[in-house]
Chains A and B, each alone.
Chain A
């Protein structure tokens, strides 16, 4: 343990002395900075460029290293190191915020002088390593400073995640949210309240039949219905998978995954072609039954319909693990107590699925409220917060203040949903995997319930099948909806390959490869951070845990547009300058999708009895080994869900990405949206089809790699009577 602190401190000191402190023009990996002759490392900046404000950082390392050598008592040593590391972190962050070459500067009056005013470039690799070293020196010391605050792994994970969330969620989001309180350049609560409680946001007119409601009310109604609907449908699917002997489970499984891996706008477009005023289904009914062709699709019901199609799979992904995890023996116990299958389901299985249901609902709610593609395509006059925010930022009259106020309204809704979910779950235990092994059979569904499941899930599946056949069809025809002669043109234009020159000639390759590489890097990071957070939330006790939990949801709840713009505001200037790089895309994906990993992880982990961890720990394993060898293997479905979801979201995300893509790092969705905007549906759909196939392949590979967890020799379901 002493060695761990020592190693971090040494690493920090080395990077202070040798690595370039500031951002280098050509990037770190080019190694140009090695021989361009200008002073670059922290130490050099102090000695040669009189950047005296870097002294505390270097001093912190030297001082705490000395402490390691000269203070013998472990607790005292840890406490002193802790204090020095905190001071070092504080000084380093402060100088970064105050002394900048351009852009917003914190505490303007704090420091003065010519060198300070000249400012400094953004932090580079040296600064980053120094900060991380100080952070870990801090957290490892904290774990040793007596009173047993958990082991170094736990404190370090907490410290790391809190720092990351602070830097990559709070710091940027604050840039825009603060606008909600701005009146004539200063902050004011008095200005905020009338704006916030305006009837333009919260109007209830639609309920009394007098016009339209405010966007917040619209969003609330839509999100509640979508959350409830997707959860119910997701549960139907999960039950069919685990509790029936349905024959075509594999096909169903693929169908439930498809909507998640569909790029935005595509579902809306397909729905228009099916159910729009001139859609195929509408035409059919008009001809057969003389029904009037209406525009019902444009408005609340269309958006709701599209969201049900799009988000049910997310509910399913969360629920399947939970439903599988309900131990057969409790169901058997119930049946031996003379409960019939319905009673068993209603009073035993269903309550045990509560964490899954609650988390699925929360995800559906948040997804719906933040969804922007479907309301844009199908919303008509039905306005919701996410689209209003988007247009408050990019519309003809851009108003950051309005966007910020709307974003606060949206966060309020999300926070309320989160609180309600917490209240509903309460403090009950939902552990069903206790370490006392069982080998029973899961109870089958009673006939009525089975019928309900089939009756809801199968039409949905059929519709999905139709929608996707349409998409594939659309990519092979000249003009979808009008000219249905077969063509390969769209594919050739997008993904052409010149075999004679061995060159990618299609226009889509560029963004395709970028998207895949970025998604491949972002997905495991997202899963790791998400599951680590879930582990901390479920298994560890620490101060401010609830606030911590909510803050991890924040990036997901904030609409992508707000995230995108706030990332530019925050990361275009010193101390952290990331715009135009691929790193900013990876980061935005990781922190935007992390909550899904967290939710799924929490749901899965609350089923693992705590005694399993404790058994591992008393057997001499540390937290890290316990996580690796006991918890992770039991969380196969949750890991799978987190990885899949984050990979897919990185490929299909659009609103946040639009602002962050650059020429060098363009993304598939931004490409597709551009084509859709220009009315080039053929190529957009062909591209979407290729993406869908790519993601499907990736998911199958993932499933093969991770496999399923082995709790019982076989998972059996009672044959239905």
Chain B
């Protein structure tokens, strides 16, 4: 985005909507990362004027749905993969035609199960985090495994999001099912539920609460936790010993995009090793999807974390999702007070 001068600021309020030569990007990751992407892209493609706005994945999906048929967005970059897959399933996005050679398997997988409509750009593992100060003060031994969370000692100290509203929490639910088998998973979730102080609406809220000591332990994505820790909060991320699931951040071109060419250039750019290597500059520690991209030392090392073979096709489908959530409501959610 071009820096605006004082005079042009006055002319901001105009009746004009989208211009054809502009590339309209919705960015669903962190603002700083979004800003960096835009300026780097405009540097490389000076002829394209990028209009970028940041919205969360849920908001973006709702907007894309409502605008279907006459979209105002060209490309949707970032944010957890589930909504991107939903958009693909509902025909709201279209194949970009950009080659996925040189990407890691999980990123290609994303492209394959969505008929090439969305591609993975980064991955983040699901993890547990705890506030070191709080646990120390209360004399509670930190957790190392999912099953530790069932222990009495965490009574009222665990915070996790509600999978009905949060994609993060749904990833956790699906991870449990894939790790332990469905029935066992719900038994575990219910007994962890005994220790949960609240099921938040937003997926990133538990880790933020844990960072400030409002809760002792949270479940969320590891790269968010790392970011909070680098800001100075006493938050320690833990990769559970049983293994864990992960999310894949994705990029999609919206079906009916006015500027398809520009959007395609954006996808090519977003998948390139150069730009993916630069994300730590803005404090992003997710794992890049391009095999040649440099990985920051703070990033969770996916090699050392026991990652499960997350089945996005099955657990991303509406049918499975509906069934699991219904069961979650009945066996876990309803017991929350």
Give every chain A residue within 8 A of B50 (Cβ-Cβ).
Answer: 663
Give every chain A residue within 8 A of B214 (Cβ-Cβ).
Answer: 272, 276-278, 295, 298
A368 proximal to B (CB < 8 A): no
Give every chain B residue within 8 A of A578 (Cβ-Cβ).
Answer: 17
Q: Which of A26, A390, A579 makes the CB contact (< 8 A) with B67? A: A579
B6 touches A277 (CB 8 A): no
Give every chain B residue within 8 A of A102 (Cβ-Cβ).
Answer: 69-70
Q: Which residue of A lies closest to B20 (CB)?
A: A25
The complex places the Cα of A671 from the Cα of B27 at a distance, in Å, of 12
Q: Which of B63, B164, B170, B211 makes the CB contact (< 8 A) with A659? A: B63
Q: Which of B17, B166, B213 makes the CB contact (< 8 A) with A580? A: B17
A678 proximal to B (CB < 8 A): yes
The complex places the Cα of A559 from the Cα of B154 at a distance, in Å, of 37
The complex places the Cα of A278 from the Cα of B204 at a distance, in Å, of 19
B308 proximal to A (CB < 8 A): no
Q: Which of A298, A478, A677 makes the CB contact (< 8 A) with B197? A: A298
Q: Which of B9, B134, B208, B213 makes the CB contact (< 8 A) with A679? A: B208
B198 touches A380 (CB 8 A): yes
The complex places the Cα of A161 from the Cα of B10 at a distance, in Å, of 30
Q: Which of A391, A393, A479 makes the CB contact (< 8 A) with B231? A: A479
The complex places the Cα of A665 from the Cα of B72 at a distance, in Å, of 13
B13 touches A517 (CB 8 A): yes
Q: Which residue of A lies closest to B60 (CB)?
A: A394
B91 proximal to A (CB < 8 A): no
Q: Which of B56, B215, B336 makes the CB contact (< 8 A) with A677? A: B56
A572 touches B66 (CB 8 A): yes
Q: Which residue of A lies closest to B31 (CB)?
A: A674
Give every chain B residue within 8 A of A514 (Cβ-Cβ).
Answer: 12-13
Q: Which of B5, B165, B199, B213 makes the CB contact (< 8 A) with A278? A: B213
B14 touches A27 (CB 8 A): yes
Tell me which residues from 1 to 51 in chain B have a Cβ below 8 Å from any Cβ of chain A.
Answer: 1, 3-6, 9-10, 12-20, 24-25, 30-32, 35, 50-51
Query: Chain B nearest CB: distance from A202 CB in Å?
Result: 16
CB contact under 8 A between A674 and B198, given known A26-B16, A395-B164, A679-B227: no
Tell me which residues from 209 to 235 in chain B have a Cβ below 8 Å from any Cβ of chain A.
Answer: 211-215, 224, 227-228, 231-234
The complex places the Cα of A664 from the Cα of B14 at a distance, in Å, of 10
Query: Chain A nearest CB: distance from B19 CB in Å?
Result: 7
A510 proximal to B (CB < 8 A): yes
B201 touches A387 (CB 8 A): yes
A398 proximal to B (CB < 8 A): yes
Give every chain B residue within 8 A of A395 (Cβ-Cβ).
Answer: 58, 164-166, 201
Tell me which residues from 158 to 180 in chain B have a Cβ below 8 Å from any Cβ of chain A.
Answer: 163-167, 169-170
A505 touches B59 (CB 8 A): no
The complex places the Cα of A659 from the Cα of B32 at a distance, in Å, of 21
Query: Chain B nearest CB: distance from A212 CB in Å?
Result: 7
Query: Chain B nearest CB: distance from A38 CB in Å?
Result: 16
Query: Chain A nearest CB: distance from B332 CB in Å?
Result: 12
Q: Which of B59, B70, B200 makes the CB contact (< 8 A) with A103? A: B70
B313 proximal to A (CB < 8 A): no
B61 touches A398 (CB 8 A): yes
The complex places the Cα of A380 from the Cα of B201 at a distance, in Å, of 8
A582 proximal to B (CB < 8 A): yes
The complex places the Cα of A502 from the Cα of B5 at a distance, in Å, of 8
Give every chain B residue within 8 A of A507 (Cβ-Cβ).
Answer: 31, 35
B67 touches A517 (CB 8 A): no
B139 proximal to A (CB < 8 A): no
* Interface residues of A, count at CB 8 A: 76
Q: Which of B3, B18, B166 makes the CB contact (< 8 A) with A396? A: B166
A678 touches B165 (CB 8 A): no
B322 proximal to A (CB < 8 A): yes
Give every chain B residue within 8 A of A397 (Cβ-Cβ).
Answer: 164, 321-322, 325
B294 proximal to A (CB < 8 A): no
B155 proximal to A (CB < 8 A): no
A583 touches B15 (CB 8 A): yes
* Interface residues of B, count at CB 8 A: 76
Q: Which residue of B lies closest to A273 (CB)?
A: B212
Q: Which of A379, A380, A573, A658 makes the CB contact (< 8 A) with B55? A: A658
The complex places the Cα of A376 from the Cα of B58 at a distance, in Å, of 15
CB contact under 8 A between A211 and B337, given known A573-B70, A577-B70: yes
A679 touches B228 (CB 8 A): yes
Q: Which residue of B lies closest to A375 (CB)?
A: B201
Name which of A102, A390, A664 has the most chain B CB atoms within 10 A of its CB: A664
The complex places the Cα of A277 from the Cα of B215 at a distance, in Å, of 8
A272 touches B212 (CB 8 A): yes
Q: Which residue of B lies closest to A23 (CB)?
A: B17
Give every chain A residue within 8 A of B12 (Cβ-Cβ).
Answer: 513-514, 517, 582, 664-665
Query: Chain A nearest CB: distance from B76 CB in Å?
Result: 13
Q: Which residue of A lies closest to B212 (CB)?
A: A481
A-contact bits for B303-337, CB 8 A (1 contact / 0 none) = 00000000000000000011001000000001011
The complex places the Cα of A29 from the Cα of B53 at a distance, in Å, of 24
Give every chain A residue within 8 A of B62 (Cβ-Cβ).
Answer: 393-394, 398, 565, 659
CB contact under 8 A between A391 and B16, given known A679-B208, A679-B211: no
Give every chain A residue within 8 A of B35 (Cβ-Cβ).
Answer: 507
A308 proximal to B (CB < 8 A): no
Query: Chain A nearest CB: distance from B193 CB in Å?
Result: 11
Give every chain B residue within 8 A of A299 (Cβ-Cβ).
Answer: 198
B198 touches A521 (CB 8 A): no
B59 touches A658 (CB 8 A): yes
A503 proximal to B (CB < 8 A): yes
Give every chain A residue within 8 A of B212 (Cβ-Cβ).
Answer: 272-273, 276, 278, 481-482
A579 touches B31 (CB 8 A): no
A662 touches B163 (CB 8 A): no
CB contact under 8 A between A381 and B199, given known A517-B12, A666-B53: yes
B54 proximal to A (CB < 8 A): yes
Query: Chain A nearest CB: distance from B159 CB in Å?
Result: 9
A675 touches B31 (CB 8 A): yes
A28 touches B201 (CB 8 A): no
Query: Chain B nearest CB: distance from A551 CB in Å?
Result: 23
B54 touches A505 (CB 8 A): no
Give every chain B residue within 8 A of A482 (Cβ-Cβ).
Answer: 212, 232-234
Give every chain A residue within 8 A of B150 (Cβ-Cβ).
Answer: none
The complex places the Cα of A684 from the Cα of B286 at a distance, in Å, of 23
B52 proximal to A (CB < 8 A): yes
Query: Chain B nearest CB: distance from A201 CB in Å?
Result: 14
B194 proximal to A (CB < 8 A): no
Query: Chain B nearest CB: distance from A507 CB in Å?
Result: 7
Query: Chain B nearest CB: distance from A209 CB in Å?
Result: 11
The complex places the Cα of A191 from the Cα of B322 at a distance, in Å, of 20
CB contact under 8 A between A581 and B3, given known A662-B51, A663-B52: no
Query: Chain A nearest CB: distance from B328 CB in Å?
Result: 11
Q: Which residue of B lies closest to A570 (CB)?
A: B66
Can you report 6 residue pairs joining A to B where beta carbons are below 8 Å apart? A395-B165, A396-B163, A396-B165, A396-B170, A662-B53, A663-B1
Q: Beyond the given A30-B16, A662-B18, A664-B12, please list 14 additional residue pairs across the A-B interface where CB-CB is below 8 A.
A: A103-B70, A278-B134, A295-B214, A391-B201, A393-B58, A396-B82, A482-B233, A504-B5, A504-B6, A513-B4, A568-B63, A577-B17, A581-B14, A666-B53
* Top 7 closest pairs, chain A to chain B, by CB: A394-B58, A663-B51, A391-B165, A580-B17, A278-B213, A380-B198, A27-B16
| Interfacial residues, chain A to chain B (CB-CB below 8 A) | 25-30, 102-103, 211-212, 272-273, 276-278, 295, 298-299, 376, 379-381, 387, 390-391, 393-398, 478-479, 481-483, 502-505, 507, 509-510, 513-514, 517-518, 521, 565, 568-569, 572-573, 577-583, 658-659, 661-666, 670-671, 674-675, 677-680
